[in-house]
């Protein structure tokens, strides 16, 4: 038997699993081949009528080998899927982008020949597009969803696209299943809803029959799936790639983007209310930040490892449903990504930007990850369809910023055809003969591949629960509570009881307490048997604190927003003290008033209101302060919007400050607890204002 990073053949195996007491055949990797009802009895065929033998796996050379282009079923399936939508993207339709640059911290010449990593201090132009996955262009920003995190680097050797997400793993192991996954997550085709939601039967039916998705399910049920801002979320390349140096030596690598301001999410109740108050919340946040002159930064981290580590690692590094804990392979920070400029035109840039996983440069190379191999085929095909033809690189946002020369010509929207008579190669026209290939050009790493041709799922992909459990137990208590609540909410929208039971059967393989909590929330009186695992879960994987957001707080209020509610005659000195403290912390203040024309303080100075109370609920802010006059407090006491503003801030565990005139108003809005809460502070002096802003660096008072 070869090692996991080797290429020799493995024997396939079969297994069976019991989910909700229904016996179902599965492949060697644990993927379920048919739903329990065995379909409608008809044979699945291609569009040409050819019977399909395996709709779960793409054709490969050996169990862990590369995907073969001759797999006509996969090509037809993904081709048709890529062409389902005109003109918006099939997935990641709702996106927002910005310009910036990548700065290299140090030379990585020992690891890679990629020019971008050769010289300390080099700056490379970049364009980044963030997106949701499931919703259409008109959907809301705060859907519970994966967020796309796609980076186009205009290097001196050509464009390099790191097309990733804000979650390091994915639902499926083989690109053959991507159309099925997305079809199940999108609105149901007969009724056209729900939009931008996975809380429906189709999605959870697919998930309940796809054990490999359970690790990703834990991530999307966590707060990672409802980020506070693009600025406060991580990014990941998801797949394992190769770094190749000038000597032809290769090591494996995973890419990480770490936000300089730390991570932050919202609660589900906040997400629902934000979507109602401002469905463009994430877009507006990024736009306002950059227009104000503030930069947004991430650091690029690499997890670099060799074949020796890959062979001893508990899981297969080619499996996109798995990650490598930072405790096992520490992240090496090698540069920073800085966004500093909004687009000039949304359609010309954000909407027309075309990312392709196949866009790599010399010094970077692919691995045999079957999901990555399928993406390399799919993305180019999708962009050709969506942007009207093969010349989408003529659009400025997609064009390289380095010299480029080729013989490609004509086609729809051709803007730059080769000059002169020569449009082929080889030719004998000498200096007029155009470009030629170079020994310095891209060369694939010469990995040896062998094995029988067949549709496989490697046995090394068969563990579907161990890392799902590791992620869950690594979370803080509050995060685990949120995950349980999210599962209950999502599954409560599922109308078919058997689907809910099948999901709980999977959860029993992850954490019994979680499964029992979800079952209780759904009213499932009797727990099902645990789903039979293709490979027994590892129950003692160590806790990885790096997987928790709350265990890694930013400890800063920088880049956050304080909403200050004021009324006529408020204490102007307190507002000035808050502004001073916020500026020192690099935080922002939004002034909220009952009227739009502004408000006058107790010194007779008039202040323009940024928002009116009716249009700016406290869910839009990271912390709030209520600075009012006595009359203003009395007026707000009978205003529903004001009471909701304060009550929501308190119930969402935010830090709340108030002037002495607002004490009774705040007390009246307390649903539970008291003003002795450490996160509810009375403001009286400039020192108290400074202390409040500093305390806000905790972001939430979870103990409330």
Q: Are 564 and 656 in contact (CB under 8 A)?
A: no
Q: CA quadruple 55, 61, 67, 68: dihedral positive or negative?
A: negative
Tell me what percent of the chain is helix, strand and coil, each rounded to the nearest 5: 30, 20, 50
More confident residue, 676 or 130: 130
Kindly report the backbone phi and psi dihedral angles of residue 213, in degrees, each rounded to the nearest multiple of 5, phi listed first: -85, -10
Pairs from 324-329 (Cβ < 8 Å, separation ≥ 24): 324/254, 325/470, 325/542, 325/544, 325/546, 325/547, 326/544, 326/546, 327/542, 327/544, 327/545, 327/546, 329/254, 329/303, 329/304, 329/305
Say whether 640 is catalytic. no
Q: Which domains does the chain have, with CATH numbers?
A: 59-398 (2.40.180.10), 461-547 (1.20.1370.20), 561-698 (3.40.50.880)
d(Cα 217, Cα 146) in Å, to the nearest integer?
A: 10
Q: Give Cβ neighbours of residue 485 (< 8 Å, ≥ 6 apart).
A: 268, 521
Confidence (pLDDT) at 34: 43
DSSP H or E run through 582: helix 572-584
pLDDT value, residue 23:
36
pLDDT tens-digit series, residues 26-82: 344 444 444 455 677 788 887 788 788 898 899 999 999 999 988 888 888 887 788
Report the pLDDT value the prediction gives residue 609, as an integer from 0 to 100. Answer: 95
The residue-averaged pLDDT of 621-641 equals: 96
In the predicted model, what is the mean pLDDT of residues 590-608? Answer: 94
Q: Residue 686 — pLDDT band, cuts 50, 70, 90? A: confident
pLDDT at 416 over 90: no
pLDDT of residue 86: 56
Structure tokens at 58: 């793409």
pLDDT of residue 325: 98
DSSP, collapsed to helix, strand or coil, labels residue 238 as coil
pLDDT tens-digit map of 303-350: 999 999 999 999 999 999 999 999 999 999 999 999 999 999 999 999
Helix 630-637 / helix 640-651 crossing angle, nearest 10 deg: 90
**Is 201 strand, coil or helix?**
helix
Contact 230, 307 (CB under 8 A): no
Spatial CA neighbour of 552 closest among 656, 479, 484 = 479
Residue-level pLDDT at 673: 66
Distance CA 355, CA 152 (A): 7
pTM (global) more than 0.85: yes
Q: How far is CA 474 from the centre of its chain?
A: 19
What is the number of H-type helices and E-type strands within the chain?
17, 22
pLDDT (mean) for 606-620: 96
Sign (positive or negative) of CA dihedral 178, 182, 188, 189: negative
Active-site annotation holds for 482: no
Q: Are 631 and 568 in contact (CB under 8 A)?
A: yes
Which pLDDT band holds residue 121 (cuts at 50, 70, 90)? very high
Say which residues have a Cβ less than 8 Å from residue 49's Cβ, sequence separation at least 6: none
User: How far apart (Å, rounded) are the C-alpha atoms in residues 531 and 508?
Assistant: 8
> Which is catalytic among the residues 57, 165, 166, 509?
165
| Distance linking the first and last C-alpha atoms of the chain | 56
> Which H helix or E strand runs over 584?
helix 572-584
The mean pLDDT value for 605-614 works out to 95
Q: What whole-number percentage of the chain has pLDDT above 70?
A: 94
**Measured distance CA(6)–CA(317) in Å, rounded:** 12
Instruction: For 204-258, write each residue's pLDDT tens digit.
Output: 999 999 999 999 999 999 999 999 999 999 999 999 999 999 999 999 999 999 9
Task: Note whether 252 and 237 are within 8 A (CB).
Answer: no
Assigned token pair, 537: 């879960």
Residue 18 has pLDDT above 70, yes or no: no
Mean pLDDT of the chain: 92
Higher-scoring residue by pLDDT: 582, 416: 582
Tokens linked to 362: 């010399």
DSSP-assigned letter for residue 188 = B
Percent of all residues in the chain with a pLDDT value above 90, rounded to a whole number: 79
**Residue-wise burial string across 27-38, b where 16 or more C-beta atoms lie within 10 A, e elsewhere:** bbbbbbeeeeee
Residue 601, C-beta contacts closer than 8 angstroms, at least 6 positions apart:
566, 569, 570, 571, 572, 575, 607
Q: Annotated catalytic residue: which of 92, 99, 215, 239?
A: 92
Return all residues near 343 (Cβ < 8 A) that are at least 6 apart.
97, 98, 99, 349, 350
Instruction: Let me know if 25 is exposed, middle or buried by CB neighbors in 10 A (0-12, 13-18, 19+).
Output: exposed
**Both tokens of residue 167?**
């979650």
Q: Give the Å distances, CA to CA, from 351 to 34, 124, 158, 623.
A: 38, 22, 21, 33
Q: Which whole number is the average pLDDT over 603-625?
A: 96
Query: What gap in Å lies between CA 129 and CA 353, rounded to an integer?
Result: 8
Q: Where are the beta strands (DSSP E) in 349-491?
A: 364-365, 453-455
Predicted confidence at residue 37, as pLDDT, reads 56
In angstroms, the CA 624 to CA 665 distance is 14
Own/partner pairs for 515-523, CB < 8 Å, 24+ apart? 517/484, 517/488, 518/484, 518/487, 518/488, 518/491, 521/484, 521/485, 521/487, 521/488, 521/492, 522/488, 522/491, 522/492
Tell me phi and psi for residue 295, to 5 degrees: -95, 155
The per-residue pLDDT for 241 is 98
């Amino acid at each position: 038997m070869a090692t996991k990073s080797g290429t020799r053949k493995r024997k396939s195996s079969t297994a069976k699993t019991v989910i909700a007491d229904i016996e179902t055949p599965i492949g060697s990797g644990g993927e379920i081949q048919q739903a329990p009802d065995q379909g409608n009895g008809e044979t699945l065929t291609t569009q040409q009528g050819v019977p399909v033998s395996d709709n779960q796996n793409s054709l490969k050379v050996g169990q862990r080998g590369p995907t073969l282009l001759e797999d006509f079923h996969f090509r037809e399936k993904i081709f048709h899927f890529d062409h389902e939508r005109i003109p918006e993207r099939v997935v990641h339709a709702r996106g927002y982008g910005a310009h910036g640059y990548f700065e290299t911290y140090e030379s990585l010449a020992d690891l890679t020949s990629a020019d971008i990593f050769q010289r300390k201090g080099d700056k490379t132009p970049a364009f980044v597009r963030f997106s949701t996955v499931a919703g259409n262009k008109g959907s809301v920003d705060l859907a519970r969803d994966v967020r796309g995190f796609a980076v186009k680097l205009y290097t001196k050797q050509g464009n390099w696209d790191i097309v990733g997400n804000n979650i390091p793993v994915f639902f499926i192991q083989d690109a053959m299943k991507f159309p099925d996954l997305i079809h199940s997550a999108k609105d149901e085709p007969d009724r056209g809803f729900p939009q931008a939601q996975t809380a429906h039967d189709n999605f959870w039916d697919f998930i309940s029959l796809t054990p490999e998705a359970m690790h990703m399910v834990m991530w999307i049920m966590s707060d990672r799936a409802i980020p506070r801002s693009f600025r406060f979320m991580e990014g990941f390349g998801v797949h394992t790639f190769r770094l190749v140096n000038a000597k032809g030596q290769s090591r494996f690598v995973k890419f990480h983007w770490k936000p300089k301001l730390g991570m932050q999410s919202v609660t589900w109740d906040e997400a629902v209310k934000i979507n109602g108050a401002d469905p463009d919340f994430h877009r507006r946040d990024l736009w306002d930040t950059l227009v104000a002159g503030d930069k947004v930064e991430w650091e690029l981290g690499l997890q670099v490892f060799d074949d020796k580590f890959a062979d001893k690692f508990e899981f297969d590094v080619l499996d996109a449903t798995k990650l490598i804990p930072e405790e096992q392979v520490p992240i090496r920070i090698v540069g920073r990504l800085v966004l500093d400029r909004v687009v000039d035109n949304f359609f010309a840039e954000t909407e027309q930007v075309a990312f392709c996983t196949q866009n790599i440069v010399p010094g970077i190379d692919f691995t045999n990850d079957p999901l990555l191999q399928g993406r390399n085929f799919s993305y180019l095909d999708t962009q050709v369809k969506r942007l009207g033809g093969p010349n989408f690189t003529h659009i400025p946002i997609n064009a390289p910023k380095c010299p480029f020369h080729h013989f490609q010509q004509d086609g729809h929207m051709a803007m730059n055809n080769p000059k002169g008579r020569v449009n082929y190669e080889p030719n004998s026209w000498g200096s007029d003969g155009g470009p030629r290939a170079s020994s310095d050009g891209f060369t694939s790493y010469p990995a040896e591949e062998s094995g029988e041709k067949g549709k496989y799922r490697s046995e090394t992909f068969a563990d579907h629960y161990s890392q799902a459990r590791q992620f869950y137990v690594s979370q803080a208590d509050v995060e685990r509570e949120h995950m349980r609540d999210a599962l209950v909410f999502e599954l409560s929208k599922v109308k078919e009881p058997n689907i809910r039971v099948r999901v709980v059967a999977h959860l029993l393989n992850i954490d019994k307490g979680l499964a029992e909590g979800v079952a209780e929330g759904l009213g499932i009186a009797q727990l099902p048997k645990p789903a039979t695992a293709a490979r027994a879960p590892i129950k003692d994987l160590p806790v990885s604190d790096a997987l928790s957001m709350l265990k890694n707080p930013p400890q800063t209020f920088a880049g956050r927003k304080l909403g200050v509610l004021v009324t006529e005659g408020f204490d102007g000195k307190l507002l000035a003290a808050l502004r001073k403290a916020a500026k020192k912390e690099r935080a922002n203040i939004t002034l909220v008033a009952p009227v739009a024309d502004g408000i006058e303080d107790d010194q007779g100075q008039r202040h323009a209101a940024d928002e009116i109370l009716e249009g700016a609920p406290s869910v839009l802010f990271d912390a709030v302060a209520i600075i009012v006059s006595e009359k203003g407090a009395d007026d707000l006491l009978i205003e529903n919007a004001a009471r909701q503003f304060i009550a929501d801030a308190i119930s969402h565990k935010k830090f709340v400050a108030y002037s002495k005139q607002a004490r009774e108003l705040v007390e009246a809005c307390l649903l539970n607890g008291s003003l002795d809460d450490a996160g509810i502070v009375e403001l009286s002096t400039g020192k108290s204002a400074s202390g409040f802003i500093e305390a806000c660096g905790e972001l939430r008072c979870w103990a409330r």
